[in-house]
Amino acid sequence: MLQKSTLTLRDGTSIDDLIDVDMHEVSLRTMSDPELYHHEMERIFAKTWLLLGHETEIPKSGDFIVRDMGEDQVIVARDREGAIHVSLNVCPHRGMKVCTGEAGNTQVHRCIYHGWAFRPNGDFIGAPIEREQMHGAMRPKEELGLKKARVQLYGGMIFATWNIEGPSFDEFLGDFKFYLDQLFCRTDGGLELLGPPQRYTIPANWKTASEQSACDGFHTLTLHRSLMEGGIMGATADTIYDMAPGMYGVDVSCHEGHSLRCIPAATTFKMFSDISFDGKTTEERLRLLPPPGITQDLIPQLMKNLSPEQVEMLATTPPQVGGLFPNSSIIFIFAPRMDGGASGALALHTYNPKGPDAFEFVNYIFAERDAPEDVKRDMLQNAIQQTGTSGVIEQDDADTWPAISRNAHGAVGKTITLKYQALTGDRKPEGWAGGGFVYDGFTKDDTQWNWWLNYRRLMASGL
């Protein structure tokens, strides 16, 4: 049952006025409204689990990086025992940011304003001139530390939330974990981040990019037409609209708004070889078309770390693109190597809001920690060329997002509705092992609409 709205803007507009559940339409006003944006920071970014980075960015005791949770800046630091902590980068004395750099190593984070000092875990150490007790006597030191977020590591990725008593990370992932494990938890050594993430600011609302990441496959037919004309997506200029092979597959999503497009490996394989997958075992298929970053030597580790059902999916209908609600995108690109491996690319984007009309695009590029250096180099190069801040894919996408946001400011334009009415309906293939909502066939609007339903749920409840 859909929850009744408890959010009403100052002009009397409710979240139900903005999101028409019966017609599957969303007001374009959602892409620009400052008041709505304020509520998003409180009801979504202060409540959900957010991706902040990867543990390989801070390998040593005292290492730290500074990241964003909505518009709240945080310090992500490793303590002497190796644990990772996330603390609000706001001094509880007078509100100054404690850490003014973006990364580094220190066992003491000292505010430049009045010198209050904090440990990597956020605990308060003290203020200058200890004998004068410059932190006062009204609160014990235990109450003067930095505000701490709840932290969870998954596949080496660092997630955090301010919702201390809210859903666990496993509850947040739900049925999605079965699919994500195939990308991020498949080898003994796990993943490593290939250098600092790329970052740049786009003059657009964060939702323009985030809702597209909920498996909008339709736009590839037109916005990314040049990629298909070049044969990268398995079609030619003459066959794009007749064949559209990359558009057929299995889309999955869940109540939490996460989604993935699982494209048959045989379709991908045909782009690179005339050899048929017919009659091949799961292991034979994996050796013919290894997942991005998996060399022949690493294939046995897939069998060790994943269930038989997960391995079979990875060999037959692997997850390739999708998103984690609210603001992350997953890109898993196949590119077989001449030596029988597959470098490809494995990247994650986050779209960090910087006001109603801007967001920071952050691109994380990964490889298996135990992969050879030439594979890591190729994956870094592939990701930068395709999914990086100047990549051929992202140049196309970044053309549309600012235009959509600008249109949302028009007195008439903001009354237009975004339409999610091309629906497949829940249709799970026979023998499909994964959970969630499953949509077999040509990719349509189902997963993006589920993204908006979860957005509506959080905005309506404030929980």
In terms of domains, do 177 and 140 share one?
no
Residues 153 and 203 in one domain: no
Band (69; pLDDT cuts 50, 70, 90) = very high
Same domain, 119 and 181: no
**Tens digits of residue pLDDT in 143-154:** 999 999 999 999
Burial class (CB in 10 A: 0-12, 13-18, 19+), 1: exposed
Q: Kindly state whether residues 373 and 431 are assigned to the same domain.
A: yes
Please state whether beta strands 63-69 and 103-105 pair in parallel, antiparallel, or not at all (unpaired): antiparallel
Residue holding tokens 């999916």?
A: 313
Per the confidence metrics, is the pTM higher than 0.75?
Answer: yes
Q: What is the mean pLDDT of the chain?
A: 91
Contact 161, 44 (CB under 8 A): no
- Please tell me the predicted confidence (pLDDT) of residue 224: 80
Mean pLDDT for 68-88 is 98
Instruction: Give the C-alpha distances (Å, rounded to integers) separating 12 from 15, 409, 416.
Output: 10, 18, 18
- Asked if pLDDT for residue 4 goes beyond 60, the answer is no
Q: Return the closest-CA partner of residue 47 out of 70, 76, 73.
A: 70
Task: Please state the rounded mean pLDDT for residues 365-381.
Answer: 93
CATH number at residue 67: 2.102.10.10
Higher pLDDT, 154 or 292: 154
Q: Answer yes or no: do 199 and 308 share one domain.
A: yes
Residue 24 lies in a domain: no
Q: What angle do CA 444, 359, 402 make, to 5 degrees?
A: 60
429 and 373 inside one domain: yes
Angle between the N-to-C axes of helices 373-387 and 392-407, in degrees from 0 to 180, rounded to the nearest 10: 30
Tell me, yes or no, whether 136 and 178 share the same domain: no
> Is the peptide bond preceding residue 326 cis, with omega within 30 degrees of 0?
yes
Q: What is the per-residue pLDDT for 334?
A: 81
| 101 pLDDT higher than 60 | yes
Instruction: Encode 12-24: b = buried (16+ Cβ within 10 Å), e = exposed.
Output: ebebbebbeeeeb
> Which residue has tokens 């952050």?
362
Quick count: other Cβ atoms within 10 Å of Cβ 353?
23
The amino acid that residue 230 corresponds to is G
- Expressed as residue numbers, the domain containing 196 is 172-461
b (16+ CB within 10 A) / e for 259-272? bbbbbbbbbbbebe
Same structural domain, 262 and 363:
yes
CATH number at residue 447: 3.90.380.10
Last residue of a domain, one of 141, 162, 183: 162
| CA triple 426-428-434, angle to 5 deg | 110
